[in-house]
Amino acid sequence: MSSISIIGLGNIARALAARSLSGGNSVEILGRDPDKARELAAALGGATAGTAGSAPAGDIVVLAVPYAGATEVVKEYGDALRGKIIVDVTNPVAPDLRGFVVPDESSGAQEIAKAAPDDAHVVKAFNTVFSHVLEAGPAEGRPLDVFIAGDDAQAKAHVSAFIESLGLRPWDTGALFMARALENVGLLELGLMNHSVKHTNFSLGITLLD
């Protein structure tokens, strides 16, 4: 099992924290509002509330904040993230849903990696799973797939084991530059939501054919 620190107090933070606890992982909640962090930790049962800006207790630090503030959060924590695995769940989609708010040929995860300490390892994950789908988990015997990308093989193996502890199925897509492709999948899901599916009660995954 893993020790997890989750930076953020929103829906994805709650969903990940709940599944992490169910999977036997230790969970620390971190947020700029200490009262809300304590309230969320208490509501989850079994989680602890840390102090924003101080060194996260977890080996895996989940960055569960909107992309608009993600790099600033990483800079604020600074050296406290040394040696940590940083899981980026963000989707840096432009407000008009026609592209991204990161430079061409880059990704949100790559920009976060630039802001992180040199010995931290950024892994993209969970950005293609809606928070309520993640909280509900696999349904009707179908696995719930989580795509990951990162440059460090050991960090990806650790994140994959964490994902499996949640009852989910990890798929390694390659190096961190593949985060751009995963963020495009996030944009694709928003297109499906707006133009055909008309809701967010769905997930994209892999079907292996014989």
The CA distance from 205 to 3, in Å, is 27
Contact 86, 151 (CB under 8 A): no
Closest by alpha carbon to 27, among 94, 90, 151, 8? 8
Query: What pLDDT, on a 0 to 100 scale, did the predictor assign at position 173?
Result: 98
Phi-psi region at 135: left, alpha or beta (left = phi > 0; alpha = psi -120 to 50): alpha
Report the pLDDT value the prediction gives residue 64, as an integer from 0 to 100: 97
Q: Residue 20: which H helix or E strand, with range?
A: helix 11-22
Residue 181: burial class (beta carbons within 10 Å; 0-12, 13-18, 19+): middle
Q: Are 96 and 40 in contact (CB under 8 A)?
A: no
pLDDT reported for residue 166: 96
pTM passes above 0.85: yes
* Grouped pLDDT means (10 residues each) for the chain, 210 residues: 95 97 97 95 96 93 97 96 98 96 96 98 98 89 93 98 97 98 98 96 93
pLDDT, position 153: 98
8, 17 in Cβ contact below 8 A?
Answer: no
Q: What pLDDT is attached to residue 186?
A: 98
